[in-house]
Structure 1
Amino acid sequence: MTVKAVKAKYMLGMVVDSVGSGMYLPLSLLYFHHVTGLPLTRVGAVMTTAAVISLVSNPVAGVLIDRFGARTVVVGGYLLRAAGFCAYPLAHGGGVMFAVVLVVAFGDMAYPPSVQSFVAEIVQGRERDELLAAQRSLRNAGLGAGGLLAGTVLALDSDSAYHVIVLAAAAGYLAAAVCMRSIPTARDTAPKGPRAAPAGGYRLVVRNRPFLALSLLNIPTAFGYMVLSVSLPVYLTQELDAADSLVGVLYAVNTAGIALLQIPVTRALVRVRRTRAVSAGAGIFALSFLAYAALSTLSDHTVLLAGVFGATALFTAGELLHGATASALVAGAAPEETRGRHMAVYQLSWAVPIALAPAVLTALLSASAAGMWLLLAAGVAVSSAGVLALERRLPRASVHPLPPEEADTAHRPAGPVTDLQLSDG
C-alpha cells in the first residue's frame, strides 16, 4: 500500500472517530443526568473519579504497544469504547454508570500513546508531520460537525435522541477500528506472535534523560492548553464582565483556525528544526497569556473586545506551531523498541495536567487572575527555553522533519546557519 493510501485510510478513521466523539462530548454530563436522574454534581464526580482511576491504563498501554504493536492497541481501544457506549443506555443508576464510564475511560486513556506510536510506525520524516497536522485539522472539523449533528438530533426533543447520539458514537468507534485494522505495518511481515519486550521495562524510559526532560517540560504547556476551556470562560465572564456568548465565539475562532491553518502551517515548517518550532509555539503561548493578563487593565469595551480576540489569535498561533510538531518530535525521540512505553510516559505529561487543571486553574484564578496568567506565562517560557536546550541531546532524526541528508542541505546556506528560515516545503 502506498503512503498516500495509508494516509487516506488513517484520516478516514480519524473523521468517523471525531464526528462520533463530537456528537457525544458536549453532552456527556447532560446525557447521564438525563438517563440516571442523578444531580449534575454527582454525575461530574463519578466521571472525574473514573478518569483518575483510568490513569493506570496509560503505562499498561505502553507495555502492550511494545509487545503487540500500536495498531492492535488502537483497535482494541476503539472496540473497548464502542462496547462501553453500547452499554450507556443501560446505565440507570450510579453504580452501573461508574462501571461503563470506567470502561470507556480506560479506552480513552490508552488512545493517545497508541495512536501516536501508530503514526510513528506507518509514516516517517516530513510525512509524519503532515499526517499529524492533517489529523489535528480534521479532528477539529469533525468534532465541530459532530456537535452540530448532536444539536440537530436533540432538536427533535425526544428521549430517544440521547440514545441515538451515544449509539452513533459507538458506530463511529467501530468504523474507525475497521479503518485502522486495514492499514499495514512492518509487523505484518514479521514473525507472528508477541514481540519480546526489552529488559528493563519503564526503567529504560527513566534512563533516557533527554526524553524524560522533554516530557517534564511539556507539563506547563499542557496546563496552558487547558485555559481555553477552563480559565478563559470564568475570567471573561466573572472578572471582565463579558457576555457569556463571547466564550463560544472565541472557542469557535480557535477550532476553526486549527482546522483551516494547521496543514499549511506544518507544511511551511518542514525545513525548520522541530525543536525550534515547538519552542516558538510555547513562546507565543507565553505572549498570549501576558495579553490576557493585560485585559484587566482595559476599560473601553471596544478595545477590550479587540484585545480578547487578539490574545486568542496569539494562542491559536502558538497551538499551530506547537501541536502537531511537538507530537512528531516526541514520536521521533522515542526508541522504536520501547516506543510504547516512552509515549505512555509522555502522555502522562498531558493526562495529569488535564485531570488537575479544573481544580488548579480555578484556585489560581480565585486567588489572583493576573497572577494565574503570569504564572502560566512563566511556565511555558521555561518550557520554550528548555526544549531549545535539549536540541543537541535529542536524536537527530527527531529534530529534523526532513530525512537527515535533506535536512543537512536545507540547513547549510552559504552564510551562517539560519534554522528559522521557512519554505513551502
Structure 2
Amino acid sequence: MRTFWAALPTPGRWLLSTVAIQTLGRGLTLPFTIIYLHEVRGFDLGVSGALMSVIAITGLVVTGPGGTLIDRYGARRVLLAGLVAMIAGCTLLAFATSPTVAAIALVLIGVNFGVSWPGFNALIATIVSGELRQQYFGVNFALVNLGIGVGGIIGGFFIDVHRPETFTAIFLIDAVSSLIPMALLLGPLRHVRTHADPSAEHETEAEGYRQILRRPAVLWLTLLTFLAVFIGYGQMEGGFPAFARQVSGVSTQVIGFAFAVNTAVIVLLQFAVLKLITGRRRTRVMQVMTLIWGFSWVLLGLTGLLPESLAAAIGVLLFMGVFAFGETMLQPTVPAICNDLASDRSRGRYNAINAAAFQGGAIAGPIAAGLLLGEGRQMWFIVAMVAGSVLICVLAIALERRLPVAANGLAAPAVAETGAA
C-alpha cells in the first residue's frame, strides 16, 4: 500500500482519499430505498419496485450522450452536472409523498448514475496509467465497498419505519455527501483535463460509437461485462435474496450478515489479490474468477437441500464470501482493459459503452431471476448461473485472442534492433 500510494500523482491521492466518505451516504440509502417507498410513504409494492427500476433505466439512457459530452467538454464538467442532479434528487426524494415526485427524484439520481461511471473512470484513467491504473481501480473498488458497507450498517441501526424523519435524514446526508466530490472537482482537480484540446493536432482521430463497437476487443469486452453483471451484481438485489429466503429458508438477518461478509472479504482481500494478479494476463484472471463464481453458485444451490437449517445459513454466508473473492478479480481488470483500449479523444465513449453493458446486466439480471424463481424453477436458476459463469470463461478466452498485449496487463514485447555490420 505504501508503494502504491507513493507512486500516485497528487490528483490521484486526492480522488482516492475521499472515496469511502463519498460512498458512505449512498450506503445509508441504497439498501433501504424500497422500504422507504413502500413502508414509509405507503406506495404499493409493485409501484415501489417499478420506481426502483427508474434509476437504472435512466442511467442506461443517459450513459451514451454522457460519454459524448465527456469527450467533448471533459469529465469534470459532466460530473459536476451529475452531482447537482444527485443532490437535487436525494433532497426531493427525502420529502416525496407521491409516486410522481418520487419518480422525478429517482430520474435525477439516475442521471448522476449514468454519467458518474464513465466520468470518474475517464478521470482516473487520465490521472494514472499502466499497471498503476489496474491497482487504482482495485483499491477504489475496495474503498467503495467499505463506504457502502459501513453506511448500510449505520443506516440499519438508525432508521425506523415508524419515524419517517429518520429516512428524511439519511437521504439528506446522501445529498450532502455529494458535495465532497464536487469540492474536489472545483478545487484540487480543477486542472485535470480528460478531453483532448480540439485545436491541437492529434495522432488519432476521435472515434464514434459505431467505430468503437466495430473493434472486436471492445465487442467481446462489452458482452463479457454484460454477462458478468447479469449473473453477478444483477442477482445481488434480486436472485440471491429471493433464493436464500424461498429455497434456503434463511432469515433476513442471515441475508444481512451475508452482505456484511461480502464487504469484509472485498476490503480485506483486495490488496492481496492485486499483488497476485500484477503482471498477469487480465483475461486469465477473469477465467479464474469464473471458476470461483461457478463454485459459489453451486454452494448456494446446495443450501436448498437443507432448508431452514444451520448448514443452509452457513452455506449462504460462504456463498457471499466466495463470490466476493471473485469480485476482487473482476473490478481491477475490466475497467483497466477498457481504458487501455481507449484513446484520450474517445475515453468517455469507451467508458460509456462499458457502463451501458453494466447497467444492462443489472436490469436484465433481476428480471430473469424473477421469471425462474417465480415459476418455481429454483434449480434451473442455479444451473443458469453456473452455465453463465462457464460462458464468461469462454468470452474471456475469445477476448484474449483479440486483445493487444499491453491492454491485457503485460508489457509490450520489445522490438529487437538490428544494425549494419
Give the TM-score taking structure 2 as reference length. 0.86
Q: Which structure 2 segments of 5+ residues have no match?
A: 1-5, 416-421
How big is each residue's C-alpha offset from its partner over 1:362-386, in whole Å with a ceiling of 9 and x where there is no partner? 2122342111111121122121122
The amino acid across from 1:343 in the alignment is: N
Letter in 2 for 1:361: A
Q: Which residue of 2 aligns with 1:413?
A: none
Which of 392, 402, 407 is the aligned partner of 1:398? 407
Query: Which deviations, in whole Å up to 9, do the C-alpha atoms of 1:70-105 show, x marking residues without a partner?
Result: 233223222221122233344332222222221111
In structure 2, the CA distance between the partners of 1:252 and 1:189, relative to structure 1 (3 Å rule), is closer
1:212 is matched with 219
- Distance across 1 between alignment mates of 2:346 and 2:246: 47
Question: Whole-Å Cα distance in 1 between the matches of residues 249 and 321 of structure 2?
Answer: 21
Give the whole-Å Cα distance in 2 for the aligned partners of 1:34 and 1:373: 31
**Residue in 2 that maps onto 1:224:** 231
Q: CA deviation at 1:22?
A: 0.9
- SS at 1:337 equivalent: coil
Amino acid at match of 1:167: L
Q: What is the CA–CA distance in structure 2 between the aligned matches of 1:261 and 1:224, rounded to whole Å?
A: 22
The 2-side partners of 1:305 and 1:148 are apart by 20
Question: 2:193 matched to 1:187?
Answer: yes
Q: Quick check: 1:67–1:195 contact (8 Å CA) kept in 2?
A: no
Over 3 Å counting, the alpha-carbon distance change for 1:404 and 1:26 in structure 2 is: same
- Give, in whole Å, the separation in 1 of the partners of 2:299 and 2:103: 41
Aligned to 2:209: 202
Match of 1:286 in 2: 294
Answer yes or no: is 1:336 the counterpart of 2:331.
no
Task: Say which is worse superposed, 211-220 or 32-41, in terms of deviation.
Answer: 32-41
1:300 shift after superposition: 10
Which one of the candidate residues 361, 368, 384 is aligned to 1:375? 384
SS at match of 1:263: helix
- Pairing partner for 2:322 from 311, 314, 324: 314
Cα distance in 2 for residues equivalent to 1:300 and 1:58 = 42
CA distance in 2, matches of 1:49, 1:324: 28
Match of 1:242 in 2: 250
Q: Distance in 2 between matches of 1:388 and 1:287?
A: 19
Query: Structure 2 CA distance, aligned partners of 1:163 and 1:143?
Result: 18
CA contact (8 A) 1:121 1:185 kept: no
Which segments of 5 or more consecutive residues in structure 1 lack a partner in the other structure? 409-425
Change (3 A) 1:68 1:19: same
* Counterpart position of 1:266: 274
Aligned position for 1:353: 361
Change (3 A) 1:148 1:250: closer
Query: Percent of counterpart pairs with the same letter?
Result: 25
Q: Which residue of 2 aligns with 1:65?
A: 70
Report the CA distance shift for 1:203/1:77 in structure 2 as closer, same or farther (over 3 A).
same
Q: 2:265 aligns with which of 238, 257, 260?
A: 257
CA distance in 2, matches of 1:260, 1:347: 26
Matched to 2:220, the amino acid is A
Q: Report what 1:414 is aligned to.
A: none
State the match for 1:418 in structure 2: none
Q: Which residue matches 2:283?
A: 275
- Write out the 4+ residue segments of structure 1 that deviate beyond 6 Å after TM superposition: 192-197
Residues in 1 aligned to 2:251 and 2:153: alpha-carbon distance in whole angstroms: 22
SS in 2 for 1:335: coil
Change (3 A) 1:39 1:24: same
CA deviation digits over 1:131-185, x for unaligned, max 9?
A: 1111111111111222233345436974433222212111110112212442266
Q: Is the 8 A contact 1:19 1:145 kept in 2?
A: yes
Over 3 Å counting, the alpha-carbon distance change for 1:185 and 1:28 in structure 2 is: same
User: What is the count of residue pairs matched by the alignment?
Assistant: 406
Which residue type is aligned with residue 124 of structure 2? V
**Match in the other structure for 1:142:** 147
Deviations 1:213-242 (A, max 9, x none): 111122221112133332222222211323
Cα RMSD for the two superposed structures:
3.1
Counterparts in 2 of 1:93 and 1:272: CA distance versus 1, 3 Å: same
CA shift, 1:252, in A, is 1.2
Which deviates further from its counterpart, 237-246 or 138-147?
A: 237-246
Deviation for aligned residue 1:395: 2.5
1:8 has 2:13 as partner: yes
